[in-house]
């Protein structure tokens, strides 16, 4: 019991339904959702440690569903590509794996089949998965814990929404030594033996073949899902691009970033794995510091925003000064307006914006520097700031593999409603929201090359 109290008091663990584990149960059950990986996963480690303490096996339950808001064929294809890596990784840790899907996806139904001692799940600040946890918390009859596995410093320690990077940065840095450590990745001491007749899908099966998905957004060949591919990309980034990251990160034409955001979003790799690889790398300190700033400070600021601001998907997330200035300029004439259909098709007068939209539609990813410019032009070309925000969310979540993610919502909020930013010089439409022009943005990198590459990409795809 002392060991269980020690584990449950970890800062990453939230005890949602307290109580003593059902010692007559058959296993410790890990309900895997956000952290879809079998290594460097705090929730999995907690499940294994609890199971070893009470001498029980561990079972992992993964059950994708077809109706997650704004998810489509592209997203589910990437998710499915990662499942075989999960299955093989769990076998190496002596952990059972049960894969199901709609309509046989209900956790409570599965619990009735395997009779767990307790259930452990992933923390996720987004509205939809948090609602699922609230429902489960009320209906389970055994203890239910959730674990914050996809941040370095546990989100709940900040207690409230942070104003900007400069307010969260010192708080994160003060705890890095405590939390940025290699994970133990323990193996289960008692092997899992599935009850007779327990159903589980093949990890390589096409889960979404018969689902009523939006299939107009096709899977992309530019990214392959899974932990093995994430590790390969991480190693290549550390060797080839991290040394020059401080110089090249804002150059979309050179691809100087890690491009790991889709893998972080789906949990195919965790921030600990990436951060520790950067810490150990033999690279200039300026590049290491710049990368860790983005991976830890900026990313965890976004997660903090989504956890503590219920309006993260709308203009209601605006800080007071931004709400006032946008209201004051709501009636400003907008010389250029585009329908959402024109925007989605990348049919504007601005070749740089079109290039960014093409990159997102055709590859499932957009360089972060271009995403800022992309969102700000939506504010300029939409009927209102509220509609610009909704358009940005819809398009980002529809096409980006890392859509439906705190990073995307915080980035849109920064660009359109000044979240985590300050007031700038006043101008029409934008008020005091920071402005980005075609001329100034184009001068900061080889924009002509970027535009050419994206136009060539669209032409190539159109011919197929």
Tens digit of each residue's pLDDT (9 = 90 or more) over 106-141: 999 999 999 999 999 999 999 999 999 999 999 999
Q: What Å distances lie between residue 345 and 194, 334, 360, 396, 404, CA to CA?
A: 50, 21, 11, 14, 21
For residue 51, what pLDDT is reported? 97
**Residues 438 and 322 placed together within one structural domain of the fold:** yes
- Both 338 and 439 in a single domain? yes
Q: Identify any residues that bridge with 13 across adjacent strands, giving them in sequence order.
A: 147
Average model confidence (pLDDT) across the chain? 96
Residue 293 located in a structural domain:
yes
Closest-CA residue to 333 (of 380, 388, 391): 380
Sign for the pseudo-dihedral over CA of 256, 262, 265, 268:
negative
Same domain, 355 and 266: no
Query: Are residues 365 and 420 both part of a single domain?
Result: yes
Contacts of 382 (CB under 8 A, 6+ apart): 334, 337, 338, 388, 391
Q: Which helix (H) or strand (E) holds 59?
A: strand 58-62
Check whether 464 has a pLDDT greater than 80: no
SS3 state of residue 457: helix
For residue 379 the two structure tokens come to: 């504010």
pLDDT digits (tens, 9 = 90+) for 56-97: 999 999 999 998 999 999 999 999 999 999 999 999 999 999
Is residue 181, in this structure, part of any structural domain at all? no
**Residues 6 or more apart in contact with residue 381 via CB below 8 angstroms:** 334, 336, 337, 338, 343, 348, 388
- Whether the pTM exceeds 0.85: the reply is yes
* Domain encompassing residue 418: 315-463
Give the domain CATH number at 321: 1.10.579.10
Whether residues 334 and 241 share a domain: the answer is: no
- pLDDT score for 434: 97
Task: Determine, yes or no, domain membership for 166.
Answer: no
Per-residue pLDDT reduced to its tens digit, 26-50: 999 999 999 999 999 999 999 999 9
| 231 and 99, same domain (yes or no) | no
The answer to whether residue 204 is domain-embedded is no
Q: Let me know whether 16 and 132 are in one domain.
A: yes
What are the residues whose beta carbons fall under 8 Å from the beta carbon of 226, sequence distance 6 or more?
81, 82, 84, 85, 268
Asked whether the beta carbons of 226 and 247 are under 8 A apart, the reply is no
**Each residue's pLDDT tens digit, 199-219:** 999 999 999 888 989 999 999
- DSSP letter assigned to residue 23: T
Residue 215 is assigned to a structural domain of this protein: no
The CATH number that applies at residue 14 is 3.40.50.620
Which pLDDT score, from 0 to 100, does residue 190 have?
Answer: 98
> CA end-to-end span of the chain, whole Å?
62
Q: What is the CATH number of the domain that holds 256?
A: 1.25.40.80
Same domain, 359 and 237: no
Q: What is the DSSP string of 348-405?
A: SS-HHHHHHHHHHHHHS---HHHHHHHHHHHHHHSSSHHHHHHHHHHHHHHH-TT-SS
How far, CA to CA in Å, does 371 sit from each of 83, 306, 310, 392?
29, 19, 23, 10
Confidence of residue 240 (pLDDT cuts 50, 70, 90): very high
Q: Is residue 2 over pLDDT 90?
A: no
Neighbours of 199 (CB within 10 A): 11
Q: Do 283 and 391 sit in the same domain of this protein?
A: no
Best CA proximity match to 331, nearest among 208, 187, 189, 431: 431
pLDDT over 80 at 291, yes or no: yes
Strand order in the sheet with 116-122: 13-17, 144-147, 116-122, 27-31, 58-62, 96-99
Find out whether 155 and 123 touch, Cβ atoms under 8 Å: yes
Q: Out of 44-48, 102-106, 274-278, pick the least confident.
A: 102-106
**Percent of the chain, pLDDT > 70?**
100
Q: Do 34 and 122 touch, CB atoms closer than 8 A?
A: yes
Same domain assignment for residues 114 and 246: no
* Cα 211 from Cα 66, distance rounded (Å): 6
Report d(CA 436, CA 371) in Å as an integer. Answer: 11
Structural domain includes residue 57 = yes
Give a yes or no: residue 121 inside a domain. yes
- Give the integer Cα–Cα distance in Å for 66 and 77: 12
User: What count of other Cβ atoms lies within 10 Å of the Cβ of residue 463?
Assistant: 6
Structure tokens at 44: 């999995």
Task: Count the residues in the chain.
Answer: 464
C-alpha to C-alpha distance for 265 and 405, rounded to whole angstroms: 7
| Count of structural domains, the chain | 3
Domain boundary among 93, 126, 149: 149
Spatial contact of 74 and 220, defined as CB atoms under 8 Å apart: yes
Instruction: Give the pLDDT band of residue 1 (cuts 50, 70, 90).
Output: confident
The runs of H, that is alpha helices, within 70-212 are 73-81, 83-92, 107-114, 127-139, 165-179
**Of 287, 308, 329, which residue sits at a domain end?**
308
Question: Which of 117, 149, 181 delimits the end of a domain?
Answer: 149
- Clarify whether residues 129 and 249 are in a common domain: no
Question: 383 and 443: one domain?
Answer: yes
Answer for the pair 415, 441: CB distance below 8 angstroms, yes or no.
no
How high is the pLDDT of residue 430?
98
Average pLDDT over residues 21-25: 94
Any domain includes 398? yes
At 158, list the tokens: 């900040």
Two tokens, residue 259: 């491009």
């Amino acid at each position: 019991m002392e060991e269980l109290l020690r584990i449950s008091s970890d800062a990453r663990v939230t005890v949602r339904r307290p109580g003593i584990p059902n010692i007559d149960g058959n296993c410790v059950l890990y309900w895997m959702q956000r952290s879809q990986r079998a290594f460097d996963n705090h929730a999995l480690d907690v499940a294994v440690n609890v199971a070893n303490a009470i001498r029980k096996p561990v079972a992992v339950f993964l059950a994708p569903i077809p109706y997650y808001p704004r998810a489509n064929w592209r997203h589910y294809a990437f998710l499915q590509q990662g499942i075989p890596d999960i299955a093989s990784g769990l076998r190496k840790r002596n952990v059972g794996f049960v894969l199901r899907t709609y309509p046989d996806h209900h956790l409570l139904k599965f619990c009735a089949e395997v009779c767990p001692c307790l259930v452990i799940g992933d923390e996720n600040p987004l509205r939809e998965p948090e609602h699922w946890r609230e429902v489960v918390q009320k209906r389970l009859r055994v203890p239910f814990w959730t674990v914050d596995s996809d941040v370095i410093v546990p989100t709940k320690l900040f207690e409230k929404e942070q104003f900007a990077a400069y307010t969260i940065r010192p708080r994160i840095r003060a705890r890095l030594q405590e939390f940025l450590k290699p994970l133990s990745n323990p193996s289960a001491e008692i092997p899992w033996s599935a009850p007779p007749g327990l159903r589980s899908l093949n990890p390589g099966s096409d889960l979404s073949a018969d689902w009523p998905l939006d299939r107009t957004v096709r899977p992309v060949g530019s990214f392959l899902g899974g932990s093995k591919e994430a590790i390969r990309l991480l190693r290549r980034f550390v060797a080839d691009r991290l040394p020059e990251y401080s110089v090249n990160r804002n150059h979309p034409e050179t691809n100087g970033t890690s491009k790991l955001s889709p893998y972080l979003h789906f949990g195919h790799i965790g921030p600990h794995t990436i951060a520790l690889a950067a810490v150990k790398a033999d690279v200039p300190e300026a590049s290491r510091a710049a990368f860790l700033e983005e991976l830890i400070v900026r990313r965890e600021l976004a997660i903090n925003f989504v956890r503590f601001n219920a309006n993260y998907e709308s203009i209601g997330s605006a800080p007071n000064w931004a709400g006032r200035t946008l209201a004051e300029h709501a009636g400003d004439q907008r010389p250029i307006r585009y329908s959402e259909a024109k925007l989605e098709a990348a049919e504007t007068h601005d070749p740089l914006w079109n290039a960014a939209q093409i990159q997102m539609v055709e590859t499932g990813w957009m360089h972060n520097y271009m995403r800022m410019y992309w969102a700000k032009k939506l504010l300029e070309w939409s009927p209102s700031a509220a509609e610009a925000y909704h358009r940005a969310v819809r398009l980002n979540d529809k096409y980006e593999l890392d859509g439906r993610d705190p990073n995307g919502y915080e980035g849109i909020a920064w660009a359109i409603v000044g979240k985590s930013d300050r007031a700038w010089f006043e101008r029409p439409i934008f008020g005091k929201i920071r402005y980005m022009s075609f001329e100034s943005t184009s001068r900061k990198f080889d924009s002509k090359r970027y535009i050419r590459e994206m136009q060539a990409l669209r032409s190539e795809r159109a011919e197929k």
